[in-house]
Structure formats: structure tokens, C-alpha cells
Chains A and B, each alone.
Chain A
């Protein structure tokens, strides 16, 4: 069973569209994350979310909005897609403790045309 799964794996869309990426974890973790990996492979945290708090990276445009229907799911909705949004988006999860490592999904490769 896949611990952290994401759908879709690939997403090709036109500029201006709205799209969503789904993430599910079956590890029983309390915290989930969204990361963006750009073409230079830099990894940037976008959001972290647990039962109590959503932490937003202030550099993330408000076109990006995380939605968590329950603690096993953290979806990412993107409005008005721009060319610069093209990247690989990774979902991850962990326990709340700062000592716990994160488990990553396989990534969603987004290409905005």
C-alpha cells in the first residue's frame, strides 16, 4: 500500500485555468505538507497543516489554497494558473514531533502552457 499518494501524476493545463491536486496518507500522521520543487530542484515549503493549525508560507500567492477534509487528506487548489506555477508539487506527512521524518508522495508534475 502506498503510504502517501497523489493524483494526478501529471497535469498539463492552460494559463488561467483552475486545477486541484489531491493527496492522501494512510500512515495515521497528524501533519501534512505541500512542497514545490522548481526546475532547479530547489524544494520550498508551501503549507503545513495539522488538526489544529494551517501554516502558510507568506511567499505563496493566495491563488494557492490548501483544503483538508480530514487529517488523512490535504488537497491543493490553484486558481488562475500562471506559467511560473509549472513545477513538481510534493505532498508529505509526518507526526507532529519535530524529531519525526517526513514521508513524501511521488509528486505531481504540473505544466502550464
Chain B
């Protein structure tokens, strides 16, 4: 069965510091991995995805994520956090060779303090 875990309900980071939002997954076969962001009272916005190739994926707003197959992880990172990065972040996974639905993590609230 496919699953996604975001082990932290909330992550607090000081502005200017690096941030990491964690995501681990379980899927049969090769995974397609996604990160989305939800700002307050808004719909979800796509940030980045890993399909194949380079394990380090760069996305919108200076975010990047590293695919680690051995650790089945896809952590979201940014070198220097901004207050405007404060939002809810969702990780999602789908098996590459299946028609299964996208499986969503529970979300991690990221709070960047000035």
C-alpha cells in the first residue's frame, strides 16, 4: 500500500535560517513525489516534483527537495527562510506505474518568525 508520512505537525524557523520540512513515503516501484504549499484561505499550489533523474529538484520560491531512495525520503528545503514562507506544506506520492490516486501527507505547518 502507498503511504506518505510528514512526521512534524509544525516546524518553527527563524527568518534567514535554513528550513527543512520532512517527508517519507512507501510505494511499490518507482515513486513520483510532489510538494505543494497552501497559504491561508487559498488553494494548494504546486512547488516541485521528482519524476526521474537528478535527486535534487529545484522548484518555486527558492525551494528544493532531495530524493533519497535508500531512506525513502523527499525532504523539502530552503537555504534561507522568509516570513512569507509561512504556510501549510503537503507532500504527496504516487507509484510511477500505477493509476492509483495521489496519496497525500497530513501537512506540516511552517512558521517563520522574524
Residues of A within 8 A of B41 (CB): 107
Question: Is A43 part of the contact surface with B, judged by Cβ < 8 Å?
Answer: yes
Our pick among A43, A45, A101, A107 for the contact of B42 (Cβ within 8 Å) is: A107
Cross-chain contact A98 with B98 (CB below 8 angstroms):
yes
Our pick among B34, B98, B99, B101 for the contact of A101 (Cβ within 8 Å) is: B34
A105 to B24, CA, bound (A): 27
A: interface residue count bin: 20 to 34
Residues of A within 8 A of B63 (CB): none
How many residues on B have C-beta within 8 angstroms of the other chain's C-beta atoms? 26
The minimal Cβ–Cβ distance linking B61 to chain A, given in whole angstroms, is 15
Question: Is A48 part of the contact surface with B, judged by Cβ < 8 Å?
Answer: yes
26 interchain pairs, CB-CB under 8 A: A4-B43, A41-B88, A41-B107, A41-B109, A42-B106, A42-B107, A43-B104, A43-B107, A45-B101, A45-B102, A57-B101, A90-B44, A98-B95, A99-B51, A99-B96, A101-B34, A101-B46, A102-B46, A102-B102, A103-B46, A104-B36, A104-B44, A106-B43, A107-B41, A107-B42, A107-B43
Chain B residues in the interface with A (C-beta under 8 A):
32, 34, 36, 38, 41-46, 49, 51, 88, 90, 94-99, 101-102, 104, 106-107, 109
Chain A residues in the interface with B (C-beta under 8 A):
4, 41-45, 48, 55, 57, 90, 92, 98-99, 101-107
A41-B109, A43-B107, A101-B49 known; 12 new pairs, CB 8 Å cut-off, are A41-B38, A41-B106, A41-B107, A45-B101, A45-B102, A45-B104, A98-B96, A98-B98, A99-B49, A102-B102, A103-B46, A105-B43
